[in-house]
């Protein structure tokens, strides 16, 4: 669901304080979105925010993970993200998981209990989870923050959706910061499509014409294309190695994920076809990771 993820990430980067509103934080004094890439490329949370509340002398760290559905991998992401930030920053962040849709009903994880094989080591972790469809849409509309508006169609309300869509459009037209109106409308349409299919509703946010002409959507499509090509290349290499040398090759996936350069991945594809074994391939992988020619 790249479109929902990317639209959500744009909102977090530009209106991250609105996301913390979901968790009951209404007294922010200041906030900023930090560079979320941490220990290695492609290993980062949806957002890492630094925010200071009223009465606090120092800003605190907040991780935000947006999940389309309450899938099991969400718990893994929450634990991974918290550990990465702890390793990088030396302090444990607050973790907020926002679930967008209840189409696949499953009780969302709010904690994890990990133990080593000999049970010498144990890691217990909890986090805040917000199921967006349980939040009253009217509360978001009355909050006075235009950054909350794109989330409103996914929240709880009575009656038909069209009046809610019109109110959202009016708020965005009236209150959007300079240069953000079109992007807010596009992201609103992207998120609303997770719950609705009626083109007449989408027309209230500008419809297909607005989507086609949107610079934001063109940028997001470029990112989707790049990510899809990267995913296909990594998958192909692993499948090739597994066919030649067995299931142990699957353990190389995380190292491949860290390589962004498509030229390097092409070279590794050829190496997967010609190497004499996994040890030989690992030497090629190490050179690619270190950036050696």
Task: For strands 111-115 and 122-126, give the pairing.
Answer: antiparallel
**Phi, psi dihedral angles at 197 (to 5 degrees):** -125, -5
Residues 4, 44 within the same domain: yes
Name which of 86-90, 119-123, 146-150, 237-241 the model is least confident about.
86-90
Let me know whether 147 and 70 are in one domain: no
**Residue-range definition of the domain harbouring residue 189:** 142-213
Does residue 208 share a domain with residue 225? no
- 221: nearest Cα among 100, 197, 235, 229: 229
Q: What's residue 1's pLDDT?
A: 43
**pLDDT bucket at 289, cuts 50 / 70 / 90:** confident
pTM of the model: 0.76
| Average pLDDT of the segment spanning 248-268 | 89
> Based on the structure, what is the number of domains in the chain?
3
Both 43 and 155 in one domain: the answer is no
- Name all contacts of 118-124 with Cβ < 8 Å and 24+ positions apart: 123/79
Residue 6 has a pLDDT of 65
Closest to 231 in 3D by CA, of 260, 273, 252, 267? 260
Q: What is the mean pLDDT of residues 257-286?
A: 91
Which of residues 175, 195, 213 is at a domain's end?
213
Q: 177 and 194: one domain?
A: yes
- State yes or no: pLDDT of 268 exceeds 70: yes
Pick from 195, 213, 231: which residue ends a domain?
Answer: 213
Which tens digits make up the pLDDT trace of 118-175?
999 999 999 999 999 999 999 999 999 999 999 999 999 999 999 999 999 999 999 9
126 with 61, same domain: the answer is yes
Average pLDDT along the chain: 88
Q: Does 58 share its domain with 154?
A: no
Question: Which tokens in the block code for residue 284?
Answer: 């090629």
* 281 plus 189 within the same structural domain: no
Computed on alpha carbons and rounded to an integer, the radius of gyration of the chain in Å comes to 22
pLDDT of residue 3: 57
Of the two residues 47 and 94, the one the predictor is more confident about is 94
Same domain, 102 and 200: no
pLDDT at 50: 94
Average pLDDT rounded to a whole number, residues 235-257: 91
Residue that finishes a domain, picked among 102, 134, 166: 134
| Residue 187 and residue 82 share a domain | no
Read off the pLDDT band of 40 (50, 70, 90).
Answer: very low
Q: What burial letters (b/e) apply to 3-23, b meaning 16+ CB within 10 Å? A: bbbbbbbbbbebbbbbbbbbb
Instruction: Determine the pLDDT at residue 141.
Output: 96
The reply to whether 25 and 97 lie within a common domain is yes
E strand or H helix that includes residue 74: helix 73-89
pLDDT of 41? 45
Same domain, yes or no: 193 and 246 = no
Strand partners, 98: 66, 130
């Amino acid at each position: 669901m790249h479109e929902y993820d990317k639209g959500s990430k744009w909102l977090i980067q530009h209106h991250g304080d609105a996301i913390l509103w979901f968790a009951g934080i209404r007294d922010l004094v200041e906030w900023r979105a930090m560079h979320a890439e941490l220990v290695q490329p492609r290993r980062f949370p949806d957002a890492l925010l630094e925010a200071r509340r009223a009465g606090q002398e120092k800003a605190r760290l907040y991780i935000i993970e947006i999940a389309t559905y309450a899938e099991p991998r969400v718990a893994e992401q929450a634990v991974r993200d918290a550990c990465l930030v702890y390793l990088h920053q030396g302090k444990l962040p607050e973790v907020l998981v926002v679930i967008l849709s209840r189409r696949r009903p499953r009780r969302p994880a709010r904690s994890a209990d990990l133990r080593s094989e000999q049970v010498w080591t144990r890691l217990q972790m909890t986090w805040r989870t917000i199921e967006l469809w349980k939040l009253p849409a009217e509360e978001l509309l009355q909050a006075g923050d235009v950054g909350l508006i794109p989330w409103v169609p996914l929240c709880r309300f009575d009656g038909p959706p069209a009046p809610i869509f019109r109110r959202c459009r009016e708020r965005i037209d009236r209150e959007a910061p300079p240069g953000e109106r079109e992007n807010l409308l596009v992201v609103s349409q992207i998120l609303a499509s997770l719950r609705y299919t009626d083109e007449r509703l989408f027309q209230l946010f500008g419809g297909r014409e607005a989507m086609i002409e949107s610079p934001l959507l063109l940028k997001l499509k470029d990112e989707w294309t790049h990510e899809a090509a990267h995913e296909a290349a990594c998958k192909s290499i692993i499948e090739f190695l597994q066919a030649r040398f067995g299931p142990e090759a699957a353990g190389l996936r995380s190292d491949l994920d860290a390589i962004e350069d498509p030229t390097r991945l092409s070279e590794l594809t050829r190496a997967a076809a010609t190497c004499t074994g996994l040890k030989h391939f690992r030497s090629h992988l190490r050179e690619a990771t270190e950036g050696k020619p």
